Structure 1
Amino acid sequence: MNDREFINAIDADGMPLHIAITNGRISHIGPQRASTPARETIDLEGLLVLPGFVDGHIHLDKSFVGDRWRPHQPVASLRERLAVEKRELASAPPIVERADALMRQAASFGTLAMRCHVDVDATTGLTNLHAMLEARDKWKDLLDIELVAFPQAGVVSCPGTAEVMEAAMREGVQVVGGIDPTTLDGDADAQLDIVFGIAERHGVKVDIHLHEPGDICIAQLERIAARTQALGMQGLVAVSHAYGLGDVSDGVVDRTAEVLAGAGISIMTNAPGEHAFPPVLRLRNGGVRVFTGNDNIQDAWWPYGNGDMLQRAMLVSYRSGFNTDDELRVALEMATEASAGVMGKQDYGLKVGNEASFVLFKAPNAAAAVAAAIHERVIVRHGAFWGGPAQLQLKAVQFATELRR
């Protein structure tokens, strides 16, 4: 016997859907009712079911969510921005407290996994990492958080950082990061030697921030691809931002996409408002996995964001000129299956045997939900109602009933 069956829902295409749950996992999903009865039946009366969201790129240790509003301060350089951030964070509540507030908010929007980049360098040491390990442990039953050792201030240009990054791997960090090997560190090969050396020694993945423009970006991607293939790390390397892919011709994008696809390198974009960014459809057509994340949320870098990955999918769609249903579905996939794939999640998605965690919306299909960035929703975790952005301490059936009206 199944524990619970959700009946009369609709899938991403607006077609009938019924989902049965046993021990927190999906035991049946399809247009017909389960053949095995359930102890409890919940009629969703036409609500849309989408998989839980996966934030492929977030900086939990930087955010001021849960703190007072801090007006954004314009600067003229990266070094000035780092100085502003250091000053602002010095007067902010502890990282654990701020990260907890943002994780709670993101979970309430239906996020169930995150790749979190944590500042790790010679100045901060492992302080931020230890705070994030504590915060992650608190939320381990609801959020799967993959940690990246992120050298915000550079690697080669910040002596001692490489050793701290190495130490972070021994603390259980799953991904080694990098940043702008040429324009920040001034020595691309030296930074990549360190980053890929750490990855090889510890058997971890790689995710490199790349804000470099045009031809510099393309050359960097080619270097990263060559190292990825040399080490047999296909499918384990991502490049975040890759703004330069939005600066070059279609022909250059196509040639670079072939290189990236051959090396199994994924590209993350959050479609930022003030930068060129990678052409999503062109890269996907070239065989490249493109995923998304919220990146910075209400911190010293920019004032925007709330942790809602459906809103992020809408922003990616808006900035990319996505208008058709198929295009809007691409943005949703970037915030769900693609990000989950980068994280290597094995039991993710609306399939039999997978964890029964999904999100319910009052919408006719997935494209409509993305286009409207619908705020109201109900979260199901491990087969049971959990909460939503309007009601964390959930009276689940009452809230679901109100949502259907």
Structure 2
Amino acid sequence: MTEDIDLLIKNARLIDKENTVDIAIKGETIILVGEEINLPAKKELDAAGRLTIPGFIDAHMHLDHACLGGDAKWIPRTHEESEKVIRSGRKAIDAEGVKETAKNAAKMVLKNGTTAVRTHVNVDRLFGLRELKAMLEVKRECAGWMDMQLVAFPSREALTQSGESERLLRQAMELGVEVVGGLPNVDPDPEGYLDIIFDVAKKYGAKIDLHVDETNNPQSRVLELFAEKTMENGYEGKVVASHCSALSAYDEEYARRVIAKVREAEMSIIANPFTNIYILDRNGKPNGITRVKELLDAGVNVVYATDNFNDGYNPLGNGDMLLAALFLAYQKKLDGKRVFSTLLKMGTTAAARATGIIENHGIKEGGKADLVILDAEAAWEAVVFQAKRVHVIKNGKIVVSNGNLII
């Protein structure tokens, strides 16, 4: 044991734990967690009683068009205006430009404590598989310091109306993409759209992550259908519904019914507080963010993510998961010190459960050695005061120290 320790973190304070612990790491794995581990190690790091959490997992991003925010003088506000900015930006760069902006964004979120991301990648008739092939290269090139899981995203294309769109989606999966994405609300036949999605997912053994009901219109009711299709196809535990904004606009009785089906289908729900407030919350009510409290109370696995990174859908997006936690607490009135522990877990362990991107995620023996040491002693302090990310550890190695990248 003594010669196996590569990194020994001393005096780390874990979420909801009173006493500090030491964390022994060998290679990419945590091999021991306990008080007073007095064993020699190649490197020792004193957390000095600071809160130490698993690395953030940003479960919903769009790195393929990061930093395509357009002219700062014209801030888009609707889906249609935002899409125009995105398309204009995509036309202005080539595959190398996609790679460069995506890698730069990944480095920035790493400095914020994010050690893994699930990113949706456009697969559409505008540029075919260009962005996807570029992002597959980015995934390989960043593997030493960032885990990436790619979602083939046919953007705003109606799969039931275009054989070409479906063909591109299937080609994307042939390239080794792990997750099938989509936007069933844009299709005049959402049920037919979902049938195509499940057919593709089952053929390639893939998970599913769809943009669902990203609107304040209470008549937008794809989430319930998605839950029913999940159970019909035996896909419980393999499905994510992102956004689900309309759930906040439903009447209470219908909302309870939908939430019960979501729980039965073992779906995970991803709230995207930055973008959904930016795009949807222009008129005050209903709030553009899904029903976080009610979903949590029902036992649904709920996650938050940062979504858009300085692009046409949210020019203000900066990929900071800790800021997203605070923003979500503000918008959904999640108060009380105990809720902040839940918030940190939503961005770490709940995100790991939703995506499956990191096996054995968490600070435990056998866990993946992805950690963030925050300059705070408690979860509420870290979120409220936006604690500095003192050290970020990825795959057992210190990759960020006091704001400086070491990669």
Query: Under a length normalisation based on structure 2, what TM-score does the superposition of the two structures give?
Result: 0.89
SS in 1 for 2:9: strand
SS in 2 for 1:347: coil
How does 1:45-124 map onto structure 2 within 5 Å? 45-64=48-67, 70-71=71-72, 73-74=74-75, 78-92=79-93, 94-124=97-127
Alignment partner for residue 20 of structure 2, among 2, 16, 28? 16
1:29 paired with 2:42, answer: no
Aligned identity (percent) is: 30
1:330 paired with 2:342, answer: yes
> Structure 1 residue 380: deviation in Å?
1.8
Change in Cα spacing, 1:7 to 1:125, as seen in structure 2 (3 Å) is same
How does 1:302-341 map onto structure 2 within 5 Å? 302-341=314-353
Q: Which amino acid aligns with 2:201?
A: A
Paired residues in the alignment total 388
Q: Distance in 1 between matches of 2:333 and 2:180?
A: 33
Answer yes or no: is the 8 Å Cα contact 1:26–1:354 preserved in 2: yes
Aligned twin of 1:139: 142
Alignment partner for residue 133 of structure 2, among 125, 130, 133? 130
Q: Distance in 1 between matches of 2:402 and 2:309?
A: 17
For structure 1, the residue ranges without an aligned partner over 5 or more in a row are 395-405
Alignment partner for residue 359 of structure 1, among 372, 378, 386? 372
SS in 2 for 1:216: coil
SS in 2 for 1:296: coil
1:205-247 CA deviation, whole Å, 9 max, x = no partner?
1111121445433x31221112111111101111110011111
Q: Distance in 1 between matches of 2:257 and 2:219?
A: 15
SS in 2 for 1:290: strand
Aligned twin of 1:252: 254
Change in Cα spacing, 1:309 to 1:126, as seen in structure 2 (3 Å) is same
SS in 2 for 1:346: coil
> Structure 1 residue 388: deviation in Å?
4.3
SS in 1 for 2:329: helix
Q: Distance in 1 between matches of 2:314 and 2:401?
A: 26
Change in Cα spacing, 1:371 to 1:251, as seen in structure 2 (3 Å) is farther
Answer yes or no: is the 8 Å Cα contact 1:53–1:335 preserved in 2: yes
Aligned twin of 2:297: 285
Change in Cα spacing, 1:376 to 1:144, as seen in structure 2 (3 Å) is closer
Answer yes or no: is the 8 Å Cα contact 1:151–1:161 preserved in 2: yes
> Structure 1 residue 80: deviation in Å?
4.3
1:387 paired with 2:400, answer: yes
Q: Distance in 1 between matches of 2:71 and 2:107?
A: 20
Q: Distance in 1 between matches of 2:28 and 2:92?
A: 42
Alignment partner for residue 188 of structure 1, among 178, 183, 190? 190
Q: Distance in 1 between matches of 2:79 and 2:45?
A: 53
Change in Cα spacing, 1:71 to 1:41, as seen in structure 2 (3 Å) is closer
Change in Cα spacing, 1:43 to 1:213, as seen in structure 2 (3 Å) is closer
Answer yes or no: is the 8 Å Cα contact 1:214–1:245 preserved in 2: no
1:39-72 CA deviation, whole Å, 9 max, x = no partner?
544333222211100001000011117xx97416
1:103-145 CA deviation, whole Å, 9 max, x = no partner?
1111122211111000111222100100101111110122111
1:138-171 CA deviation, whole Å, 9 max, x = no partner?
1012211111111112233455111100100000
SS in 2 for 1:194: helix
Q: Distance in 2 between matches of 1:26 and 1:75?
A: 45
1:180-222 CA deviation, whole Å, 9 max, x = no partner?
43xx2211122112111111211111111121445433x3122
Aligned twin of 2:172: 168
Q: Which segment drifts farther, 134-143 or 77-86?
A: 77-86
SS in 2 for 1:315: helix
Aligned twin of 1:200: 202
Q: Distance in 2 between matches of 1:4 and 1:321?
A: 39
RMSD of aligned C-alpha atoms? 2.1
Q: Distance in 2 between matches of 1:346 and 1:305?
A: 28
How does 1:195-274 map onto structure 2 within 5 Å? 195-210=197-212, 211-217=214-220, 219-271=221-273, 272-273=276-277, 274=281
> Structure 1 residue 74: deviation in Å?
5.0
Q: Distance in 1 between matches of 2:73 and 2:311?
A: 8
Query: Under a length normalisation based on structure 1, what TM-score does the superposition of the two structures give?
Result: 0.90
SS in 2 for 1:331: helix
Q: Which amino acid aligns with 1:255?
A: R
Q: Which amino acid aligns with 2:365?
A: V
Q: Which amino acid aligns with 1:71?
A: A
Aligned twin of 1:346: 359
Aligned twin of 2:284: none
SS in 1 for 2:211: strand
Answer yes or no: is the 8 Å Cα contact 1:122–1:158 preserved in 2: no
1:178 paired with 2:178, answer: no
How does 1:145-160 map onto structure 2 within 5 Å? 145-156=148-159, 157-160=161-164
SS in 1 for 2:219: helix
> Structure 1 residue 95: deviation in Å?
0.2
For structure 2, the residue ranges without an aligned partner over 5 or more in a row are 282-286
Q: Which amino acid aligns with 2:101?
A: R
1:6-61 CA deviation, whole Å, 9 max, x = no partner?
2122222353121112233211113x122654454433322221110000100001
